[in-house]
């Protein structure tokens, strides 16, 4: 069978690419080799984890009822019921995605795809059959899988993964979390909410190494206040976990230290799923497929999207990458006009659904320094904000970065209540290249969480060059 566009992987990026390609008139096929349909976000990532975290958030609220003059004596939880709710919701999401993939708009094959040459795929169908197909252009969107770094004992141990925690009905009394990225922090918050003693071990000097240090410090302080033990600036020496008791050894400030707990969670990152694709000679960077801004690879007719090409492993980015790849494939095939489209990471979004949440958009201070852009920064704490005080949610801060000459907003961060929602007000402002002067002039109803943004905006506006 000959196709215009062949997509390997039926997750968010792959489906977005296929949908866009069909809309542009390309004869399209999607090949999905996993035992279940839906992709990482639906099956084992965003949606199941946030379902569990929502239960955790509501349980925390119940435990604080007395602060608000309410009576809720001895709130309890049933982990099996929490897991059942998650399974039901994820089943519904997966069924919807399966329906989209099986809609008939494009061919949908269940099996593992392997390149025989740059234009031909062998498909090992799940039912045991083998077939071949050719295509003029391709999109690799095979996602990622949990990585096991070369730490002594890690590969041999029975460490939990985030996949395990999503279905674990009996949370451990104590757990050591390796890694303080989004997965590690979210799973740490989940376990802590339901009573586990939690310790985090992180290699970098602070958690979430990609965000500004003052922002990560604010979240660190909140997590420690919640009773989570955090060790940063470490080098792992050995990990042991037999499923009943665990021990982690690490060096910190020149001293060898040890932690013991019931279990260990490996949250040390993910790696692209590339096994079995065949040898194509695609350029790789840190084990990920290297792509140009138009999502093309070192083979110009082969595109990549999502976790397989790394960088920002979030759903909305994967979707944008898949759409851009399909559009540019159509241009190659003379089915669409104009210049190739490119990814624009100016509005890159990032969020962690810990308690409290963290969210960022745009550039960090380090990135602006590297580009030689002069900027001003200002922050404002939630513990001095009216609505936050009413809510009893006073940990964290908001922060803005803006050009020193014009006041254009270049980045923002939030640690605090509803951070993942609050950040979008700044996203809209940055989309239209608003200045802090513009932002400060926007009316905000009182008392609301969102009006907190006006304070750093006003501070920066007062200190602009010539302001």
Residue 92, pLDDT > 80, answer yes
- The residue written with tokens 């007062």 in the block is 462
Stated length of the chain:
467
Residue 297, pLDDT > 80, answer yes
Q: What is the pLDDT of residue 22?
A: 98
- The residue written with tokens 């965000």 in the block is 211
Tens of pLDDT, residue by residue over 320-347, are 999 999 999 999 999 999 999 999 899 9
126 Cβ contact partners less than 8 Å away, ≥ 6 residues apart = 33, 35, 110, 111
What is the three-class DSSP state of 375?
strand
Predicted confidence band of residue 308 (pLDDT cuts 50, 70, 90): very high
Q: What is the pLDDT of residue 158?
A: 93
Start and end residues for every CATH 3.30.390.30 domain found in the chain = 356-462
- Calpha distance 255→4 (Å, rounded): 59
Supply 122's token pair: 């062998």
Q: What is the pLDDT of residue 467?
A: 58
Tens of pLDDT, residue by residue over 265-295, are 999 999 999 888 876 889 998 889 999 999 9
Q: What is the pLDDT of residue 40?
A: 82
Predicted confidence band of residue 412 (pLDDT cuts 50, 70, 90): very high
The structural architecture, per CATH, of the domain 162-268 is 3-Layer(bba) Sandwich (3.50)
Mean pLDDT of all residues belonging to the chain: 95
Start and end residues for every CATH 3.50.50.60 domain found in the chain = 2-146+271-332, 162-268
Q: Are 370 and 63 a contacting pair, CB within 8 Å?
A: no
- What integer is the mean pLDDT of 234-253? 95
| b/e sequence 197-227, b meaning 16+ C-beta within 10 Å | bbbbbbbeebbbeebbeebbebbbebbeebe
Record the pTM. Answer: 0.94
Q: What is the pLDDT of residue 313?
A: 79
- What integer is the mean pLDDT of 229-238? 97
Third-level CATH fold of 2-146+271-332: FAD/NAD(P)-binding domain (3.50.50)
Q: How would DSSP label each residue in 417-439? A: TTHHHHHHHHHHHHHTT-BHHHH
The structural architecture, per CATH, of the domain 356-462 is 2-Layer Sandwich (3.30)
Q: What is the pLDDT of residue 466?
A: 64
Distances (CA, A) of 40 to 140, 162, 349, 361, 378: 15, 12, 19, 23, 37
Q: What is the pLDDT of residue 58?
A: 96
At residue 60, what are phi and psi to the nearest 5 degrees?
A: -60, -40
Tens of pLDDT, residue by residue over 108-148, are 999 999 999 999 999 999 999 999 999 999 999 999 999 99
């Amino acid at each position: 069978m000959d196709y215009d566009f062949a997509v390997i992987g039926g997750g968010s990026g792959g489906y977005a690419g296929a949908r866009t390609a069909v809309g542009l008139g390309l004869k399209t096929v999607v090949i999905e080799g996993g035992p279940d349909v839906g992709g990482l976000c639906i099956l084992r990532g965003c949606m199941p984890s946030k379902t569990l975290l929502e239960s955790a958030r509501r349980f925390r609220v119940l435990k604080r009822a007395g602060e608000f003059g309410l009576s809720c004596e001895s709130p309890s939880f049933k982990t099996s019921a929490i897991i059942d709710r998650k399974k039901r919701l994820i089943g519904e999401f997966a069924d919807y995605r399966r329906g989209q993939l099986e809609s008939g708009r494009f061919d949908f094959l269940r099996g593992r795809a392997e390149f025989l040459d740059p234009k031909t795929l062998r498909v090992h169908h799940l039912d045991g059959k083998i077939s071949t197909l050719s295509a003029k252009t391709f999109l690799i969107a095979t996602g990622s899988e949990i990585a096991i770094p070369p730490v002594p004992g890690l590969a041999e141990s029975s460490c939990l993964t985030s996949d395990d925690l999503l279905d674990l009905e009996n949370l451990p009394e104590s757990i050591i979390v390796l890694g303080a990225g989004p997965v590690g922090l979210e799973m740490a918050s989940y376990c802590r909410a339901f009573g586990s003693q939690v310790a985090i071990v992180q290699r970098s000097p602070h958690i979430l190494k990609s965000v500004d240090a003052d922002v990560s410090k604010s979240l660190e302080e909140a997590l420690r206040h919640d009773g989570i033990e955090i060790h940063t600036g470490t080098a792992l020496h050995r990990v042991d976990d037999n499923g009943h008791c665990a021990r982690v050894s690490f060096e910190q400030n020149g001293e060898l230290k040890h932690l013991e707990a019931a279990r260990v969670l490996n949250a040390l990152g993910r790696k692209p799923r590339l096994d079995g694709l065949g040898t194509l000679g695609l350029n790789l960077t840190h084990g990920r497929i290297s792509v140009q801004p138009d999502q093309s690879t070192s083979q110009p007719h082969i595109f990549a999207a999502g976790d397989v090409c790394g960088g920002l492993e979030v759903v909305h980015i994967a979707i944008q990458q898949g759409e851009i790849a399909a559009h540019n494939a159509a241009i190659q095939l003379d089915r669409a006009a104009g210049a190739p489209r490119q990814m624009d990471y100016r509005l890159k979004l990032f969020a962690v659904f810990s308690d409290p949440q963290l969210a960022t958009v745009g550039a960090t201070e380090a990135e602006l320094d590297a580009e030689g852009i002069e900027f001003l920064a200002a922050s404002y704490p939630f513990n001095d904000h009216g609505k936050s005080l009413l809510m009893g949610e006073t940990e964290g801060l908001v922060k803005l970065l803006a050009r020193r000459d014009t006041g254009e907003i270049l980045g923002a961060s939030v640690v605090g209540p509803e951070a993942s929602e609050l950040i979008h007000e700044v996203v809209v402002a940055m989309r239209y290249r608003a200045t802090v002067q513009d932002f400060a002039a926007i009316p905000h109803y009182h008392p609301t969480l969102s009006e907190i943004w006006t304070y750093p905006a006003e501070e920066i506006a007062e200190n602009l060059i010539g302001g």
